[in-house]
């Protein structure tokens, strides 16, 4: 239907117009603009669906749900951002907005895919020898070229448009670099676990992951603040940037506080918690966090598998407690404060 409507609008205008310029003028007025915009959206959806089949295959139900959840606010945010360019020709901002939406969807799906892969993979080859690795590299290449192209065009016509979207694609590029860092850390963990079959996790991964997220959010915050300072004027208020900056600051402070708590807990946990005695293990020698049995003779003091007793009397592996305290400061069994 969209193709028929587009042909029905464009063909009569081409026949009745003497020059190409006249065709362009007529197509940018009235109903013709709405019909062409509808055709562009439909074609973009078809192309996006085809790219999704090539890059990801069939989407899982959880991935579709995440797309719907995130797209509501993203679309609203993009429409608010378009109001900044109300005095400009909206074709270019509209196309760039549509393209950025599709890129964000691909980024979300890729993140979900890698999360799922590293939950099930047991060797690095199982995690990396997939189409998702190719998709990650392809999106890195596309994002970098989009940033480079927008920077080049920002010195020509519509500089504010290309400048703003250049920073938008730069944030997407940083998101992919964060994803690449997660892939490297998770792959490193798989290699480590293969070399240490008695371990369940690589303890240092949590530290590096937190540092990676703090660096990522700091760079994104710098980009948004710089963009706000550049675009802000008495006649233009980029409202969507105020929202992004607020949530970035809140998230960054939350991550920093969480990182400091984690560091403090990691340093003080072994010293402040009492070692489990054989009598403690006689009552209950099962760590409910990892569901493995505990033993004071098979593990050295201060190592991950050495059992520790909380003030409430429950006993867990030291390493399991460190991982648990990343999420909660309460006993996993009775919820008593530690």
Q: How far apart are the first and last CA of the chain?
A: 64
pLDDT, residue 14, reads 67
Amino acid 7: pLDDT: 73
**DSSP alpha helices (H): ranges in 232-277?**
239-272
What angle in degrees, to the nearest 10, is found between the helix axes of 2-16 and 31-55? 130
Q: For the chain, which residues score pLDDT lower than 50?
A: none
> What pLDDT is attached to residue 289?
83
**What pLDDT digit, counting tens, does each position of 138-163 carry?**
999 999 999 998 888 877 666 778 88
- If you count DSSP H runs as helices and E runs as strands, how many of each does the chain have, helices first? 12, 5
What stretch of H or E contains 309?
strand 307-309
Q: Return the pLDDT at 212.
A: 94
Q: What is the dihedral of CA 285, 287, 291, 296, to 10 degrees?
A: -60
Residue keyed to tokens 């240490």: 196
pTM (2 decimals)? 0.80
* Distance separating alpha carbons of residues 180 and 110, to the nearest angstrom: 11
Q: Please enumerate in sequence order all residues whose Cβ is within 8 A of that of 328, keeping only pairs 6 or more positions apart, or say none.
A: none
State whether residue 192 is helix, strand or coil: helix
Q: Cβ contacts of residue 311 below 8 Å, gap of 6+?
A: 336, 338
Measure the CA–CA gap between 211 and 62, rounded to whole angstroms. Answer: 28
Distance CA 111, CA 172 (A): 12
Helix axes 203-231, 159-195, angle to 10 degrees: 180
Q: What is the DSSP letter of 85?
A: G
- Say if residues 221 and 241 touch (Cβ distance below 8 Å): no
Instruction: Please list, in sequence order, all residues whose beta carbon lies within 8 angstroms of the beta carbon of residue 216, skipping any fewer than 6 positions away.
Output: 174, 175, 177, 178
Question: For residue 52, which of 110, 3, 8, 95 has the smallest C-alpha distance?
Answer: 110
**Distance (Å, whole) CA 316 – CA 306:** 8
Contact 314, 280 (CB under 8 A): no
Cα dihedral value 222, 228, 230, 235, nearest 10: 180
Q: What is the pLDDT of residue 24?
A: 65
Closest listed residue to residue 98, CA positions, set 141, 163, 42: 42
134 by Cβ neighbours in 10 Å (0-12 / 13-18 / 19+) ranks as exposed
CA 61 to chain centre: 18
């Amino acid at each position: 239907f969209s193709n028929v409507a587009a042909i029905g609008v464009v063909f009569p205008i081409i026949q009745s117009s003497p020059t190409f310029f006249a065709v362009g003028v007529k197509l940018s007025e009235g109903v013709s603009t709405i019909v062409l915009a509808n055709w562009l959206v439909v074609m973009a959806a078809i192309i996006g669906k085809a790219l999704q089949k090539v890059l990801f295959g069939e989407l899982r139900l959880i991935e579709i749900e995440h797309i719907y959840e995130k797209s509501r606010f993203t679309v609203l945010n993009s429409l608010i951002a378009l109001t900044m360019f109300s005095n400009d020709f909206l074709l270019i901002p509209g196309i760039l907005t549509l393209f950025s939406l599709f890129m964000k969807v691909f980024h979300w799906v890729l993140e979900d895919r890698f999360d799922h892969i590293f939950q099930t993979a047991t060797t690095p080859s199982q995690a990396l020898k997939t189409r998702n690795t190719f998709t990650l590299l392809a999106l890195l290449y596309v994002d970098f070229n989009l940033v480079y192209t927008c920077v080049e065009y920002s010195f020509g016509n519509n500089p504010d448009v290309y400048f703003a979207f250049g920073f938008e694609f730069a944030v997407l590029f940083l998101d992919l670099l964060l994803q690449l860092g997660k892939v490297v850390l998770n792959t490193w963990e798989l290699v480590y676990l293969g070399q240490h079959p008695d371990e369940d996790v690589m303890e240092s991964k949590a530290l590096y992951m937190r540092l990676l997220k703090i660096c990522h959010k700091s760079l994104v915050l710098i980009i948004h603040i710089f963009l706000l300072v550049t675009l802000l004027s008495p006649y233009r208020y980029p409202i969507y940037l105020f929202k992004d900056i607020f949530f970035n600051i809140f998230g960054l402070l939350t991550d920093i506080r969480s990182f400091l708590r984690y560091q403090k807990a990691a340093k003080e946990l072994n010293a402040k918690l009492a070692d489990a005695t054989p009598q403690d293990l006689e009552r209950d020698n099962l760590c409910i966090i990892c569901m493995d049995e505990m033993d004071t003779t098979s593990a050295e003091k201060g190592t991950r598998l050495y059992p520790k007793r909380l003030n409430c009397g429950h006993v867990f592996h030291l390493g399991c407690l460190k991982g648990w305290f990343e999420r909660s400061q309460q006993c996993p069994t009775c919820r008593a404060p530690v």
